[in-house]
Amino acid sequence: MPDTIEQFRDRIQAATAAGTPLRIVGGASKDWYGGPLQGDPLETRAHSGIVDYEPTELVVTVRCGTPLAQLEAQLREHRQMLAFEPPRFDPASTIGGVVASGLSGPRRATAGAIRDFLLGAQLMDGKGELLNFGGQVMKNVAGYDVARLLAGSMGVLGLITQVSLKVLPLPLVETTLRFELDEIAALARMNAWGGQPLPLSATCWVDGALTVRLSGSEPAVAAAARKLGGEPVKDDRAFWTSLRDQTHAFFDTDTLWRLALPPAASALILGGTQLIEWGGAQRWLKVPRAGAADIRRSVAAAGGHATLYRAADKSAGAFQPQAPAIARIQERLQAAFDPAGIFNRGRLY
């Protein structure tokens, strides 16, 4: 067992005894996400490295402090990838933060979210005990759902020390098409295509244009491109990278909302500017004046929820308030894993 595990245990047990909050820090690339930072930093970067990787089994086990860039470089050597395309906000971004934030990129709508690829996890709870959930194969379901709970938990359940992730082969061929469409027409087109056997791997509508990525075998991609039409995009990798890493000009704003909606939901008239992904299921909103209550009420009426993704003032709460029954479950989970409430106070709710 690495020395870092014992160091983590000593810090956590001392913090629990004193009631001192701890702030889990990997690459600090997502410090702006979620609620305000509280507590003494608990650094994880020293606990790094790929523990086990078997390309033929499509599974990798990695420690929490491992840089995302290091893992992806290793996967590329075997023409494999993290199919949920986690955002790479900074070269220092770590796997622990990738899992804790639960963020996925353009391929999420067709490949799945990070929780769909999380086979197992190791967690150190508020007592300093090391807990293991799930395993390294899809058939091992013991504790599988508990491991999945860690995706998007913002570190409030404990310190994620290690995870096992399912990986996928890189697509053989990819091509990108662009269509000049307004928002209403783009949503209708994405929903129509979503019900057809097309090798869609990403969609994005912004600035009056719908951009579509096709991934798969050469015959399948070529046939789909002929069927859909549109204008081929030459520098398509740069576009999808800017979308995945949120370096696209749209994301250059101080206040940004992330809306999760049914793909078939109609366009929302909120007086702002939108970027639409995932076939209509994820909609980014820049709106200068509408209040948080108005936005969340409108989105809830359409069957979704809204996250205050970036903002100088998050007094309205970063994440949409939970329903009372769900909130009680969340409270019980946190009490079970972290009785003293020392981990990442206020980052989630």
Spell out the domain ranges in the chain. 3-169, 173-310
Element (H, E) at 71: helix 68-77
**Reported pTM:** 0.92
Which H or E element spans position 190? helix 183-194
Measured CA distances, 213 to 17, 111, 181, 201, 203 (Å): 52, 13, 16, 6, 6
Show pLDDT as tens, one digit a residue, over the chain (349 residues): 578 999 999 999 999 999 999 999 999 999 999 999 999 999 999 999 999 999 999 999 999 999 999 999 999 999 999 999 999 999 999 999 999 999 999 999 999 999 999 999 999 999 999 999 987 655 444 444 788 999 999 999 999 999 999 999 999 999 999 999 999 999 999 999 998 999 999 999 999 999 999 999 999 999 999 999 999 999 899 999 999 999 999 999 999 999 999 998 988 877 889 999 999 999 999 987 668 999 999 999 999 999 999 998 999 999 999 999 999 999 999 999 999 999 999 999 8
Contacts for 247-252: CB closer than 8 Å, 24+ residues apart: 248/206, 248/275, 250/206, 250/207, 250/275, 250/284, 250/286, 251/284
Instruction: Give the pair of three-digit tokens for residue 311.
Output: 């903002």
Smallest CA-to-CA distance from 177 within 219, 147, 222 is with: 222
Task: State the residue for tokens 């070529």.
Answer: 222
CB 232 within 8 A of CB 221: no
CA distance linking residue 236 with residue 311, whole number of Å: 30
The helix/strand/coil state of 98 is helix
Annotation: CATH topology of 3-169: 3.30.465
